[in-house]
Amino acid sequence: MRRVVLLTCWLATDAILFIGTYTLAYFIRVGLILSTDFPIDLYLRTVLAVAPMWLATLTALGVFELTTIQGSRRNILHMFAGAIIGLAFFTLAYYFTNNLFFSRLLLVYAGVLSFVVPLIWHLAFDQWQRRIYRKLPAAYPLLIIGINREAERFIKLLEEKQSPFRPVGILDPQGSSQKDVAGIPVLGKLNKLEEVVKSLKPTHLMQCSNLEHTINLMSVCRQHRMTYLLLPSVLGVVGAGETVESIEGQNVLAVKGR
Amino acid sequence: MQSFILAGGFATRLWPLTERRAKPLLPVAGIPLLSTLVGQIPGAVPVTVSTNAAFADDFKQWKKSVGKSDVRIIIEDAGHEDQKLGALGAVAQWITSENIDDDLLLLAGDNYVGCSMATFLAKFHGNPLIAGHDIADPEAAKAFGTIVLSSTLPSPGSPAGPGGGGGGGDTVTSFEEKPEHPKSTIVSTGWWVLPKSVLPILVDYSKAHPDNVGGIFEELLKRTIPVECFVFKELWKDIGSFESYMSLHCDVVNGAKIINPSATVSPDSELQESIDLGPKTRVNKSVLRNCIAFGKSTITDCVLDRCIIDEDCVLEGVDLTDKMLRRGTILRRR
């Protein structure tokens, strides 16, 4: 529910910002007047029509995904691409509907503003929404399976980055005597899995060890509508650029040799 | 004599098979391990099975199916491993609460012993008796209670040689529970007889060591009470892991195809080596080798090798090796 409300807010504010940046570009170019040569109502009507297309582009590029790091290079490039595509949509839409030429400089202003302003807003919004997601009860409780240094590093990373995925408990197939790992309680062995899933209601399960349990952990996730996640180190993939790719439509885990 | 079967473990290493089923109720050649054990107990000996609250209903259900009237189930009030009384603690509690004043046949419910219990009991002459088996592997012996017999002690001048158990009763000179450096490869197998005279020692010992069944024999030897051992050569397995369960399955089924009358196997399927298919299992167009399916599962277009499949699974178009599948697993290749 928190996700739906926050995502709706995010999309709405983005739409407002898109329209706002284009309006600002108009007044920067034209001045603080309502030009009769270049009527603002035609201009804004086109911006309004293009805004959903810009949002759809950003959505398709995965900008609003929960796992996207807003400040990452990849996301900044996606937002830049989104701004360019938005600008292209606007130019085409304005030309086809009004059959008029207009200022090229205005397009530069609109393009720059519709990239920079939403990007700054995304960085701020992301920090705020992380805090909201992490408030107890967490929006995305994460159950960790296995205790090892990789699991500990991962838990610490989630805490450090204030990730929306909040670890709530650990089950260790080996029956570790540790009471907690980085502050997250160790709740027992896998025979407690059903009980823990029912009581903590995790939305995600991260397997950090014991590859032999993969099928059964996925089975538990399917039955409880949880998302199963696998730390690549379980497969022996450590420090490599692993990606999920598709070969002839068949998904494969690719680890590029360097 | 009274018999007491220890069946209160949670068998976490056999997860997910033991998620909703106690280890002694796992099928071996189509029959619950516990039924095989109870079937070996002489008819005149009453049976008490000790289990925990998590599996209580399963044992009550099992009791209805076992062909022996004098079977009693006692439930240890433990829903989880960390709430357990301990195996020896459970025995002690039963002895105390029921005022048991009889010789005790103590049995581990998760051990498969291939020798005759009558032969074992015939070796009981009033001293504590252990059934031992020579596993001939010092490394593996570290996980069990090891027994040194007077007959296997090296005589002066002869080379020391652990293991090499004989075929009959013998006096135990030392017993070590899970030793770091085993002195012998003869291990305790989960069949013990304790004369009524030592039951107060057991109750007393259990207060400090509630989970150390083997430790009672160390205690008896410490008190210079003679302990005897019957070493058998037939099959023995302690079902503690996937490997040991699969190995027991292969040894007991021994290449046979055990197919429940309500199970179906299509003519284009191939069953290789040891196969045990439980009730309402359906196998279509698949190749199965050394597999156990507990029942009510559908296996279509699969190649399964050394797999144990719990109930209500649906497998379509998958190849699996060395897997245990939990109840209700659905794997369909799209």
- Residues 6 or more apart whose CB falls under 8 angstroms from that of B162 comprise B138, B152, B182, B183, B184, B185
- Residue B187's φ and ψ, nearest 5 degrees, are -120, 155
- Residues 113 to 172 of A: which have CB under 8 A from any B CB? none
Q: Are residues B28 and B83 in the same domain?
A: yes
Strand ranges in A87-216 using DSSP code E only, listed in sequence order = 140-145, 165-171, 180-181, 184-188, 204-207
Last residue of a domain, one of A116, A134, A152: A134
- Taking contacts as CB-CB distances below 8 angstroms, the residues of chain A near B18 are 191
Q: Are residues B51 and B93 in the same domain?
A: yes
pLDDT at B6 over 50: yes
| A82-106 pLDDT tens trace | 999 999 999 999 988 887 767 889 9
| B86-104 pLDDT tens trace | 889 999 999 999 999 999 9
Q: How far is the alpha carbon of A221 from chain B, nearest alpha carbon, in Å?
A: 10
Best of B12, B17, B243 to disrupt the A interface (most A CBs within 10 Å) is B12
A190 vs B329: CB contact, 8 Å cut-off? no
Among chain A residues, CA nearest to B322: A212
Asked if residue B251 belongs to a domain, the reply is no
Residue B296: domain span: 256-332
- Taking contacts as CB-CB distances below 8 angstroms, the residues of chain B near A222 are 330
| A36-75 pLDDT tens trace | 778 888 899 999 999 999 999 999 999 999 999 999 999 9
- Taking contacts as CB-CB distances below 8 angstroms, the residues of chain A near B16 are 190, 213, 216, 219
Q: Tell me the one-letter amino acid at B115.
A: C
Asked if residue A252 belongs to a domain, the reply is no
Q: Are residues A170 and A114 in the same domain?
A: no
Asked if residue B43 belongs to a domain, the reply is yes
Q: Are residues B192 and B286 in the same domain?
A: no
B326 vs A192: CB contact, 8 Å cut-off? no
Asked if residue B306 belongs to a domain, the reply is yes
The Cβ of residue B161 has, within 10 Å, a number of other Cβ atoms equal to 11
Nearest CB neighbour to A223, from listed B15, B81, B328: B328
Q: Are residues A129 and A174 in the same domain?
A: no
Last residue of a domain, one of B200, B223, B245: B245
Q: Are residues A222 and A199 in the same domain?
A: yes
Asked if residue A246 belongs to a domain, the reply is no
Best of A213, A219, A224 to disrupt the B interface (most B CBs within 10 Å) is A219
B10 touches chain A (CB under 8 A): yes
Last residue of a domain, one of A134, A160, A194: A134
A199 touches chain B (CB under 8 A): no
Asked if residue A63 belongs to a domain, the reply is yes
Instruction: Indicate which CATH number applies to the domain containing B38.
Output: 3.90.550.10
Q: How far is the alpha carbon of A191 from chain B, nearest alpha carbon, in Å?
A: 6
Q: How far is the alpha carbon of A219 from chain B, nearest alpha carbon, in Å?
A: 5
Instruction: Indicate which CATH number applies to the domain containing B306.
Output: 2.160.10.10
Closest CA to A173 of A154, A153, A151, A158: A151
- Taking contacts as CB-CB distances below 8 angstroms, the residues of chain A near B333 are none
Q: Are residues A21 and A69 in the same domain?
A: yes
Last residue of a domain, one of A117, A134, A151: A134
- Taking contacts as CB-CB distances below 8 angstroms, the residues of chain A near B10 are 189, 191
Q: Are residues B223 and B268 in the same domain?
A: no
Tell me what the pLDDT averaged over chain B comes to: 90
Q: Are residues A7 and A107 in the same domain?
A: yes
Q: Are residues B211 and B320 in the same domain?
A: no
Asked if residue B141 belongs to a domain, the reply is yes
Query: Looking at residue A154, what is its pLDDT?
Result: 94
Q: How many domains does chain B have?
A: 2
Last residue of a domain, one of B189, B215, B245: B245
Q: How far is the alpha carbon of A51 from chain B, nearest alpha carbon, in Å?
A: 38
What predicted TM-score, i.e. pTM, was given to this entire model?
Answer: 0.82
Q: How many domains does chain A have?
A: 2
Asked if residue A254 belongs to a domain, the reply is no
Nearest CB neighbour to B325, from listed A175, A215, A223: A215
Query: Looking at residue A105, what is its pLDDT?
Result: 93
Say if the ipTM goes beyond 0.90: no
Last residue of a domain, one of B190, B212, B245: B245
Residue A72: domain span: 2-134
Q: Are residues B162 and B292 in the same domain?
A: no
Number of A/B CB contacts below 8 angstroms equals 50
Query: Looking at residue B168, what is its pLDDT?
Result: 45
| Token digits of residue B321 | 């090796």
Asked if residue A241 belongs to a domain, the reply is no
| A98-133 pLDDT tens trace | 877 678 899 999 999 999 999 999 999 999 999 999
d(CA B23, CA B33): 8
pLDDT at B277 over 80: yes
B330 vs A222: CB contact, 8 Å cut-off? yes
How distant, in Å, are the alpha carbons of A30, B151, B230, B233, B311 from that of B116?
Answer: 102, 23, 12, 11, 32
Q: Are residues B227 and B88 in the same domain?
A: yes
Q: Are residues B73 and B51 in the same domain?
A: yes
pLDDT at B154 over 70: no
What is the 8-class DSSP label of residue B160?
A: P
| A137-191 pLDDT tens trace | 899 999 999 999 999 999 999 999 999 999 999 999 988 889 999 999 999 999 8
Asked if residue A75 belongs to a domain, the reply is yes
Q: Are residues A38 and A90 in the same domain?
A: yes
Asked if residue A211 belongs to a domain, the reply is yes
